[in-house]
Amino acid sequence: MPDQDDLVFLDESPVPAPAGTPRHVWRVMIIDDDEDVHSTTTFALGSLEMQGRPLEFVHAYSAAQAREMLQYEHDIAVILLDVVMEQDDAGLHLVRHIREILKLSDVRIILRTGQPGYAPEIDAIRDFDINDYKTKSELTRIKLYTTVTAAIRSYEQIRKISDSRRGLNQIVHAGTELMALHGVRNFAAGVLSQAASLLGQQANGVLCVQDCPDDDCSALEVLAAMGSLHNLGSRDPLSSAAHVVQGMAQAVAQRRNVYTGDALALYFAGKSSRVFVAWLLMPRPPTELEDRLLEVFCANVAVGLDNVELLSHLHKAAFYDSLSKLPNRTRLIEILDATLSGPARDDATLSLVDLDHFAETNDALGHEFGDTLLVAVANRLQTSLGQQLTVARIGGDIFGVLGDASQVHPEAILELFQRPFSIEGQDVRLSATLGLVRLCEHDGNGSDALKDADIALKRAKSQQRAGHFYFTRSMGVEIRERVRMMHALRKAYAQNELFVMYQPQMDLLTRRPIGAEALLRWRTPDGKFVSPDRFIPIAEYSGLIIEIGETVMRTALRELVALRAAGHQDFTMSVNVSQVQFRHPQFLDMLRRALADTGAPPEYVELEITESMAMEEPNLLIEMLAQIKQTGVTIAIDDFGTGFSSLSYLQRLQIDRLKIDRAFVTEITGSARGSSIAEMVIQLGQNLGLTVIAEGVEDERQAQILYALGCPLAQGFLFARPMAADTLDEWLANDALQGAA
Ligand code: C2E
Ligand code: CA
Ligand code: CA
């Protein structure tokens, strides 16, 4: 393909060039308005050959004509230019045009003039890079011969320099282009095409990596295969191409580029134990200049390949899970983004797969075992649901599966957990919970889709183990509502819309108040009350309960101190403490400081914790209660009867009181056998030496029955509704006595 040679390089081969190719002649342009000059010049120089290349003449008879011709005439080595043509200095203007407008800097220019008097300024000769200035009479045949020979030689030098500069530029450019490619394989393909273009060749070649350079080349891994050799990129390719392997082995052995007659073996000296080597078809040997350029190119590329390898490792670490080798959360979001903006969106479903009780399995059987189990799950997800799925690991025991709805649906996925996983000869059964999103019903980005799937998963987990849930818009609405409420609550707290009310607790025998429960209230500016059953969970969820809880505690303790000052000495203040508060590392400090700052007597302070909280993390709770008891406060278990605390467990908890849940109080007047749970709780309390209080007592019959069953204390609308502090003060001073028996 000789026509490609002239893209970049001058062929220096002494072999005579095929006819008709301008590349293998030296082109000399004669610009003169005197026809005689043309014929004498061609006659004088016609036989000149340099390095086996004859001259070829191009003729122009005026500066204007030359201007025009130079637009399309290429590779002119020398211009013999008459100074005086249309104007006295037409030649000089043409030189300026050639250098400054046409930007032809390589071409050598020899000025000729008829009369010595028209010699141009020395400045012009320098500025316009004019090779020589001769009067026509000076230019005898021999002189012309030597002048043109010198000009051609210097043209050749200049071309070499600018070719190598161009080549170097191309290498630098190639380097930047290559670095923009992601992944070793893309980079390798880029290297092949850049090397080919540097040589003016088509990219027919392979690029391989060899792990151990001292080996024979049997362990070559093909990174890229292009053009007529692209087949070498697929299945056990190199074994069928012995001479390619041999050629590359030669380059590796000699640690340099080798030309083998029909191809070039390129050697890239990687810094580590790896070696990169390429095989590029090339019908002619590289020129000396190409050899040097290739060396620079290969050295550059070797550094680049090392970097790309490093980058792709980093890329892997950033986008892939090291244990399962699956895409990680970040990568899944990218894939989701792509899916959402493509045609696959309409049928695609994302499912999160959360392994149930994996933490326990992990703890019980060891982390290594757990890892193996996770890999087994990953494999099963990847191989059993069908092709073209994305399976990602997005958390410890949570996987993401993205694909067509016909493959990604609960039945198919849960089916995979019907068979046990066999790990180290052991059969392990796992179940999973799924949260799914249909992407067509989704209008956010990938990250939002993942969030929605997570919402669906949480819902599935809270409602039914080993089940699934599809995300629906209403769920989104609910979440948004919760977020809205969270902001509203924060604002309400800052603006003092929250306050504490007190509900008296009574002695059923004397019908006198023995204490009160502090209950939080939220009244919005328009006078509406938001139920604590709604906002307390949000305060817990957002963590705001820590601050709010402390405020309630301090307010209630101050009220206790005030009541004592008003003469109500035997009065206990009960404060609700949520699980989130209780678990907070500063809870004890907070309690101690609140007691100290308000001066409230701890023995008249009671904390209400729920039974469900008592059920979780028994050891932590036992430890915690022991420390709380040291402050002197007492502890009641709220909503008692709704959980399933065992007797032995209750015995280990340092508690003082059980609070019978309102549901069981309501029950005792309902059915004949309904009293049983309340009765059991009362007896349990008696057996454990705990006092018992009933809550939600609304009518006199309930009070009577409870008292008859042995419950001495009660709280409820029958006696008093929750009331503000000043109302409580009044109520205690007056009304409380009226109710007393
Ligand atoms: P809880 O601790 O079980 O509080 C008793 C609830 O029963 C209170 O509802 C009270 O107003 C209501 N109640 C009292 N007597 C009767 C009655 O005779 N009949 C009926 N039907 N209800 C009665 P409230 O104030 O809406 O509180 C609901 C829940 O909010 C509380 O249940 C408690 O779990 C939580 N809570 C309230 N204040 C706080 C607080 O300051 N901190 C924390 N952590 N939770 C609080
Ligand atoms: Ca309570
Ligand atoms: Ca309760």
Read off the pLDDT of residues 277-327 as tens digits, 9 standing for 90 and up. Answer: 999 999 999 988 888 888 888 877 777 777 766 666 666 777 888 888 889
> With 80 as the cut, is the pLDDT of residue 248 above it?
yes
Q: What band does 375 get if pLDDT is binned at 50, 70 and 90? A: very high
Highest mean pLDDT among 22-36, 461-475, 701-715: 701-715
Q: What share of the chain is helix, strand, coil (3-state, %, to 5)?
A: 50, 20, 30
Q: Can you give the pLDDT at residue 734? A: 83
Among the four given CATH numbers 3.30.565.10, 3.20.20.10, 3.40.50.2300, 3.40.50.300, the one describing domain 26-164: 3.40.50.2300
CA 504 – ligand 1 centroid, Å: 12
Nearest ligand 1 atom, CA 695: 15
> With 60 as the cut, is the pLDDT of residue 249 above it?
yes
* 255 CB burial (10 A radius; 0-12, 13-18, 19+): exposed
CA 26 – ligand 1 centroid, Å: 103
497-580+596-740 belongs to which homologous superfamily?
EAL domain (3.20.20.450)
Separation of alpha carbons 439 and 187, rounded Å: 34
CA 517 – ligand 2 centroid, Å: 7
Higher pLDDT, 686 or 183: 686
> With 90 as the cut, is the pLDDT of residue 503 above it?
yes
β-pair partners for 574? 517, 606
Ligand 1: residue whose CA is nearest its atom 25: 519
Q: What band does 740 get if pLDDT is binned at 50, 70 and 90? A: low
pLDDT above 70 covers a percentage of the chain that reads: 84
Q: Can you give the pLDDT at residue 93? A: 87
Name 425's Cβ contacts closer than 8 Å, sequence gap at least 6. Answer: none
Candidate of 519, 702, 706, 723 to mutate for ligand 1, largest count of ligand atoms within 8 Å of Cβ? 519
Ligand 1: residue whose CA is nearest its atom 27: 532
Q: What band does 158 get if pLDDT is binned at 50, 70 and 90? A: confident
Which strand ranges, in their side-by-side order, compose the sheet holding 205-210? Answer: 220-226, 205-210, 275-281, 263-268, 258-259
Ligand 1: residue whose CA is nearest its atom 20: 696
User: Residues 147, 153, 159, 162: is their CA dihedral positive or negative?
Assistant: negative
The kind and range of the H/E element at 209 are strand 205-210
* 456 CB burial (10 A radius; 0-12, 13-18, 19+): buried
Separation of alpha carbons 454 and 445, rounded Å: 14
Q: Residues spanned by CATH 3.30.450.40 within the chain?
A: 181-319
- Residue/partner pairs of 471-478 with CB below 8 Å, 24 or more apart: 471/435, 471/436, 471/437, 471/438, 471/441, 471/442, 473/441, 476/452
CA-nearest of 579, 554, 565, 564 to 515 is 564
Judged by its nearest atom, the ligand closest to the C-alpha of residue 533 is 1
Tokens of 424: 């180290």
Residues that place a CB less than 5 A from ion ligand 3:
638-639
CA 576 – ligand 2 centroid, Å: 5
CATH architecture of the region 329-471: 2-Layer Sandwich (3.30)
For range 203-225, the mean pLDDT: 75
Name 684's Cβ contacts closer than 8 Å, sequence gap at least 6. Answer: 647, 650, 658, 690
CA-nearest of 724, 726, 669, 676 to 697 is 669
Q: What band does 20 get if pLDDT is binned at 50, 70 and 90? A: very low
Q: What band does 736 get if pLDDT is binned at 50, 70 and 90? A: low
Q: Residues spanned by CATH 3.20.20.450 within the chain?
A: 497-580+596-740
Highest mean pLDDT among 106-110, 379-383, 556-560, 580-584: 556-560
Please state the φ and ψ torsions of residue 325, each to the nearest 5 degrees: 65, 10
Judged by its nearest atom, the ligand closest to the C-alpha of residue 519 is 1
9-18, 366-375, 599-608: which has the minimum mean pLDDT? 9-18
User: Residues 380, 386, 388, 394: is their CA dihedral positive or negative?
Assistant: negative
Q: Can you give the pLDDT at residue 276? A: 85
Name the fold adopted by 181-319. Answer: Beta-Lactamase (3.30.450)
Name the DSSP class of 220: E
Nearest ligand 1 atom, CA 520: 38
Candidate of 573, 576, 579 to mutate for ligand 1, largest count of ligand atoms within 8 Å of Cβ? 576
Higher pLDDT, 161 or 256: 256
Q: Residues spanned by CATH 3.40.50.2300 within the chain?
A: 26-164
The mean predicted confidence, pLDDT, of the chain is 84
In tens, the pLDDT along 160-200 reads 777 767 777 777 777 666 666 666 777 788 888 888 888 88
Q: Residues spanned by CATH 3.30.70.270 within the chain?
A: 329-471
Separation of alpha carbons 667 and 677, rounded Å: 9
- Residue/partner pairs of 136-140 with CB below 8 Å, 24 or more apart: 136/37, 136/112, 139/112
Q: Can you give the pLDDT at residue 3? A: 36
Separation of alpha carbons 276 and 298, rounded Å: 10
CA 38 – ligand 1 centroid, Å: 114
Name the DSSP class of 531: P
In tens, the pLDDT along 567-591 reads 999 999 999 999 889 888 899 999 9
Q: What band does 398 get if pLDDT is binned at 50, 70 and 90? A: very high
CA 661 – ligand 1 centroid, Å: 11
Ligand 1: residue whose CA is nearest its atom 41: 520
Judged by its nearest atom, the ligand closest to the C-alpha of residue 536 is 1
CA 629 – ligand 3 centroid, Å: 21
Separation of alpha carbons 132 and 304, rounded Å: 46
Q: Can you give the pLDDT at residue 13? A: 34
The kind and range of the H/E element at 427 are strand 426-428
Ligand 1: residue whose CA is nearest its atom 46: 576
Ligand 1: residue whose CA is nearest its atom 19: 696
Q: What band does 667 get if pLDDT is binned at 50, 70 and 90? A: confident
CA 640 – ligand 2 centroid, Å: 10
Tokens of 108: 């050598």
Tokens of 215: 């080996």
Interior CA angle at 642 toward 638 and 648, to 5°?
80
Nearest ligand 1 atom, CA 519: 38
Q: What angle do the packed helices 587-598 and 545-565 form, to 10 degrees?
A: 30
Ligand 1: residue whose CA is nearest its atom 45: 576
Separation of alpha carbons 430 and 9, rounded Å: 67
Nearest ligand 1 atom, CA 659: 3
Ligand 1: residue whose CA is nearest its atom 30: 532
CB-based pocket (< 6 A), ligand 1: 503, 518-520, 531-533, 536, 549, 552, 576-578, 608, 638-639, 662, 695-698, 715-717, 722
CA-nearest of 437, 447, 440 to 336 is 447
Torsion angle of alpha carbons 682, 687, 689, 692, nearest 10°? -10
CA distance to 219, 251, 319, 485, per residue, from 316 (Å)? 24, 31, 5, 41
User: Residues 724, 729, 734, 737: is their CA dihedral positive or negative?
Assistant: positive
